Structure 1
Amino acid sequence: MTQPLDIIFAALADPTRRAILSMLLEDDMAVTDVAEPFETSLASISKHLGVLTAAGLISQEKRGRVKWCKLEPDQLREASTWMQGFGQMGGLDLDAFERFLATELSPLLSEQ
């Protein structure tokens, strides 16, 4: 796997970051609005946003006194293209892939 894909998949590995990306599918959001549904600090959400920005999955822009987040779909397309190589007979079922990963990783995570 190439380094950019490593960064993308590392960013996607966290459920909070995946939830943030899902929220940004709807529209650009202010950082404070992104943080609102989570029971964690704004600093913690800012770190997640930093990881997503470093992976190129989102961009952040200051508009006046408010920092806005925007989904950047090109990096997701690169990851999707790579993953489609494993779906030889059609599109990759990402829900099934996520369930598979959860099943496989659950015992490993409980050992930590």
Structure 2
Amino acid sequence: MRLLDEVGLPGRALDLTGCALIACGLALLVFACERSSDWGFLDVGSLVPFIAGVLLLVVFVLVEVRTAEPWSDLSHLRGARTSVPLAVTFLVGAVTLLGAALALMAAYAGRARGRSARQQERGT
């Protein structure tokens, strides 16, 4: 802890609660997404960690808003100057990622059936 005080910002303490909440929340989300490919997304083994991860991230936001010295200052997300571009960037990234994932899944499904891309395109 002494080293963190020496290199950190003067007068700021490390928000261990915020660190723990975001780390556990993201870990549970990653675990649920990774396991869903084997167990199915609606399986209890995938769904429970996903819901728990989302809840931990919601608790993280609630704690960070009320903490005197938060791990991440979320107040800059309140204004339209930052929240709108951030939301647009997120949506564009999500749509791009989804499109790429669907294209790769279609190509993989065709390869698994022993069909070329052209055969897959024609539906033969």
TM-score, normalised by the number of residues in structure 2:
0.30
User: If each structure's helix is expressed as a fraction of its own residues, which one has the higher value?
Assistant: 2
User: If each structure's strand is expressed as a fraction of its own residues, which one has the higher value?
Assistant: 1
TM-score, normalised by the number of residues in structure 1:
0.32
Higher relative contact order (CA 8 A, sep 6+): 1
